Amino acid sequence: MKKITTINSGVIPLMRDNIDTDQIIPKQFLKNILKSGYGRNLFYDWRYKATSKEANPDFILNKPEYKQAQILVTGENFGCGSSREHAVWALKDYGFQVVIAGSYSDIFYMNSTKNGLLAIELPKKDRTILASIPAKEKIIVDLPRQQVRYEKYQFDFSINPLWKHKFINGLDDIAITMNYAKKIEAYEKEIPNFN
Amino acid sequence: MKKTMFDKIWHQHVITGEPGEPQLIYVDLQLLHEVTSPQAFEGLREKNRQVRRPDRNFATMDHNVPTVDIFNIKDLISKKQIETLAKNTKDFGIRLAGMGSKDQGIVHVIGPQLGLTQPGMVIVCGDSHTATHGAFGSIAFGIGTSEVEHVLATQTIWQTKPKTIGIHVHGKLSKGVYAKDIIMGIIAREGVSFGTGYAVEFYGDTIRNMNMEERMTLCNMVIEGGAKMGSIQPDQTTFDYIADRKYAPGNMEKAVSYWKQFYTDSPDAFDKVIDFSVNELAPFVSWGTNPGMAVPIDQPFPKIKNEEDKKAYEYVGLKAGEKANQIPIKFVFFGSCTNGRLSDLIIAAKVLKNKHIKNGITALVVPGSRKIKEKAEKIGLDKIFKEAGCEWREPGCSACLGMNPDRVPAGIHCASTSNRNFAGRQGAGSRTHLASPAMVAAAAIHGRFIDIRKEII
Ligand code: SF4
């Protein structure tokens, strides 16, 4: 996994609540056996016109001034609905490194920690400020300090130390768990047998 | 200190880690399906890893399976996912209920049906409706594909222990009101994110009186309220359901005495309690684009409160103040892991017996598993459905999500026994209205929803 420490980037505001994983990546794009290539279909139903399948110029991701932004600012309960990890892969593949929402569905949140997508929770008043930043401006997401900074503003966020450690060091979960192999074995010996 | 059932099961499965932090939890059973597993197996291969306990994993194909001729998969990628799962399970020595096998079905239907799902277990699957298995008094939740890979490699998972909500469900259901209406009613009242960050336990006299299939319907849809899992204390109903199933414990007596330790000491042990009386509960119908956008059949659709409501009304082509009996139903779907079990089909068939669905309606009946299909045919349900004008299909997820050829056309209103009415869920532009099997059956006959408590079907 790629390390994440400090990110300096523009912001894309998508201030809706309850954006579900079907909206993030519709099911017709799940039929794949790879982890990459989902970015072009991110937010598909909003991004492309229903009839012609051309880019919808009104949708923020299609506006040229937002092309480079790596930070998504959004509403409450982001990533609700289906458990598809493709939602996280699509966000990552598109180029997002950070999502800033009011809250997340549990499954989406866990998926984000596995794939190096930093999912930050901030209250609405902070997000409203971030969402109003002009497209050409950049903000700083500083993971070691657990801060989001923009000009005079500084918003602190919390993150579990374990996830933070993983992000900063780009660690693979399975390798970490393998360190507990002896304990897992010992546990398995104690499982009751009903046969 | 008083403990919940959830605390007790959780505690037994902790391998390492402190409360409040992510803890390493042992997984007794992982269920796999073709959509969320290929990348997990690929990950193992890339790193040259093995499956730690093939015997604690079980796979089937369900999402992509065509329901007319299961062997004729026209979509190349669907076909590829299905073939990939067959190869992966073979390479790694995992049991598979493959295409056409007698055990095949929707993953959350076959786990309980085979007796794999048991009390006191931690069960995971790369699918949010894994919550279904909590009906047996287990901790069961959906996970992502990286977690699937992690469980394959280590038979464990990192999780932070959630808080608990106890939902006290009490009272007697009126005729025509079902488990589906209870969970829809709870979500409509409490909202689609009331359960975020919580493990839910349902308890109370209404729950005790339910059979296992009703309990599964309830736990299945708790995810639509944001909760990651829902559970119900195992009791004699649970034990009787498991006994004699294919993978039931050899020594049931020993198993039952072990399972009996899993109960909540007192409702005080929950972090939060919700009270839900079902005495006055009416059948529910969803009008909008999330399961919380639902009303009792006799109530008008609510006023527009926010942008989300406005968008939902635009999408479904309905107006605030209208009622569910005004929705022009053109498509009907019986099936899914919420209401695709035998008792659901029996209820729907009872309504449809000696009747005919309204002209111009397409109605699919899709049993949750092959076993259910066989049993239903044995008691003649297939005939009742066919004579009523419905299509009797092969088992699978079908039009619950339209990943296979079964889709609801754009702009068409579908009365559906499934669990999600998200925009586009049943097919691009489809308009889903969730309801119980009895309500959906009545809607098929009338071409609109009716109050099955009052109107003669
Ligand atoms: S029936 Fe529907 S909800 Fe259930 S597993 Fe299949 S697609 Fe998911």
> pLDDT tens-digit profile of A138-156?
999 999 999 999 999 999 9
For residue B311, give every residue at least 6 positions away whose Cβ sits within 8 Å of its Cβ, in sequence order, or none: B289
Please determine, for residue A157, whether its predicted confidence score (pLDDT) is greater than 70. yes
Q: Is some CB atom of chain B closer than 8 A to the CB atom of A20?
A: yes
Question: Which tokens sit at A136?
Answer: 């050409």
Please determine, for residue A83, whether its predicted confidence score (pLDDT) is greater than 80. no
What is the best residue among B130, B133, B217, B419 to mutate for testing ligand 1's pocket, by most ligand atoms within 8 Å of CB? B419
Contacts of A88 in chain B (CB under 8 A): 144
pLDDT, residue A106, reads 85
Buried b (16+ CB within 10 A) or exposed e, B252-287: beebbebbeebbbeeeebbeeebebebeebbbbbbb
Phi-psi region of B92 (alpha: psi -120 to 50; beta: other; left: phi over 0): alpha
> pLDDT tens-digit profile of B298-340?
999 999 999 999 999 999 999 999 999 999 999 999 999 999 9
How distant is the alpha carbon of residue B298 from its chain centre? 26
Please determine, for residue B413, whether its predicted confidence score (pLDDT) is greater than 80. yes
Q: What is the mean pLDDT of residues B430-436?
A: 98
Please determine, for residue A29, whether its predicted confidence score (pLDDT) is greater than 70. yes
pLDDT band at B188 (very low <50, low <70, confident <90, very high): very high
Residue B232 lies in a domain: no
pLDDT, residue A44, reads 94
Domain limits at A69? 6-190
Residue B109 CA to residue A134 CA, distance in Å, equals: 50
Give which of B418, B416, B366, B437 is closest to B395, Cα–Cα: B366
Strand duo A139-142 + A147-150: pairing: antiparallel
Summary mean pLDDT of chain B: 96
How distant is the alpha carbon of residue B88 from its chain centre? 26
**Quick count: other Cβ atoms within 10 Å of Cβ B75?**
16
Q: What is the mean pLDDT of residues B217-243?
A: 97
Residue B394 Cα to ligand 1 midpoint, Å, equals 15
pLDDT, residue A195, reads 86
What letter does residue A33 receive in the DSSP assignment?
S
Residue B280 CA to residue B276 CA, distance in Å, equals: 10
Question: Which tokens sit at B386?
Answer: 């066919």
Residue where one domain finishes, among candidates B108, B137, B159: B159
Q: How many domains does chain A have?
A: 1
Residue B242 CA to residue B262 CA, distance in Å, equals: 16
- First CA to last CA distance, chain A: 42
Q: Is B295 helix (H, G, I), strand (E, B) or coil?
A: strand
Number of H helices and E strands in chain A, helices first, is: 8, 8
Q: How many domains does chain B have?
A: 2
Q: Is B356 helix (H, G, I), strand (E, B) or coil?
A: coil
Percent of chain B with pLDDT over 90: 95
> Which CATH number belongs to the domain containing residue B409 in this structure?
3.30.499.10
pLDDT, residue B340, reads 98
Residue B272 lies in a domain: no
Residue B227 lies in a domain: no
pLDDT, residue A136, reads 92
> Which CATH number belongs to the domain containing residue A96 in this structure?
3.20.19.10
**HSE-up (13 A, CA, CB side) for residue B335:** 33
User: Distance of CA B239 to CAs B146, B218, B235, B245, Å?
Assistant: 33, 18, 6, 11
Q: What is the mean pLDDT of residues A173-184?
A: 94
* Single-letter residue type at B394: E
Cα angle B413-B419-B422, degrees, rounded to a multiple of 5: 55
> Given strand B95-97, what is the order of strands in its sheet?
B95-97, B57-60, B29-32, B122-125, B139-142
User: Does one domain contain both B145 and B293?
Assistant: no
Residue B112 lies in a domain: yes
Mutate: best of A24, A174, A180, A195, partner B, most B CBs <10 A:
A174
Residue A156 lies in a domain: yes
- Are B288 and B224 in contact by the 8 Å Cβ rule? The answer is no
Task: Considering only CA atoms, give the Rg of chain B.
Answer: 21
Residue B433 lies in a domain: yes
Residue A61 lies in a domain: yes
Residue B150 lies in a domain: yes
Residue B73 CA to residue B394 CA, distance in Å, equals: 13
Q: What is the mean pLDDT of residues A132-143?
A: 96
Q: Is some CB atom of chain B closer than 8 A to the CB atom of A115?
A: yes
Residue A195 lies in a domain: no
Question: Which tokens sit at B37?
Answer: 């597993």
Question: Which chain A residue lies closest to B291 (C-alpha atoms)?
Answer: A81
pLDDT, residue B457, reads 67
Q: What is the mean pLDDT of residues B168-182?
A: 98
Task: Considering only CA atoms, give the Rg of chain A.
Answer: 19
User: Distance of CA B249 to CAs A140, B104, B133, B155, B252, Å?
Assistant: 56, 21, 17, 20, 5
Which residue do the tokens 């699918």 mark? B127
Q: What is the mean pLDDT of residues B197-216?
A: 97
Residue where one domain finishes, among candidates B133, B159, B185: B159
Residue in A32, A82, A84 closest to B77 by CB: A32
Contacts of B155 in chain A (CB under 8 A): 184, 188
pLDDT band at B410 (very low <50, low <70, confident <90, very high): very high
Q: Is B17 helix (H, G, I), strand (E, B) or coil?
A: coil
CB contact under 8 A, A106 and B42: no
> pLDDT tens-digit profile of B366-388?
999 999 999 999 999 999 999 99
Residue A135 CA to residue A152 CA, distance in Å, equals: 18
**Quick count: other Cβ atoms within 10 Å of Cβ B19?**
11
Summary mean pLDDT of chain A: 93
Give which of A12, A132, A7 is closest to A74, Cα–Cα: A12
| CB B397 near ligand 1, within 6 Å | yes
Residue A9 Cα to ligand 1 midpoint, Å, equals 38
Cα angle B263-B265-B267, degrees, rounded to a multiple of 5: 105
Domain limits at B413? 285-454
Residue A126 Cα to ligand 1 midpoint, Å, equals 37
> pLDDT tens-digit profile of B13-28?
999 999 888 899 999 9
Residue where one domain finishes, among candidates B159, B186, B208: B159
Residue B192 lies in a domain: no
CB contact under 8 A, B250 and A82: no
| CB B293 near ligand 1, within 6 Å | no
- Are A69 and A11 in contact by the 8 Å Cβ rule? The answer is yes
Residue A84 lies in a domain: yes
> pLDDT tens-digit profile of B55-78?
999 999 999 999 999 999 999 889
Axis crossing angle, helix B38-46 with helix B145-154, rounded to the nearest 10: 50
Residue B389 lies in a domain: yes
Q: Which residues pair with B167 in a beta bridge?
A: B202, B274
Give which of B125, B119, B149 is closest to B62, Cα–Cα: B125
Give which of B267, B265, B249 is closest to B257, Cα–Cα: B249
Mutate: best of B158, B246, B258, B419, partner A, most A CBs <10 A:
B158
> Given strand B22-26, what is the order of strands in its sheet?
B14-16, B22-26, B156-160
Contacts of B149 in chain A (CB under 8 A): 174
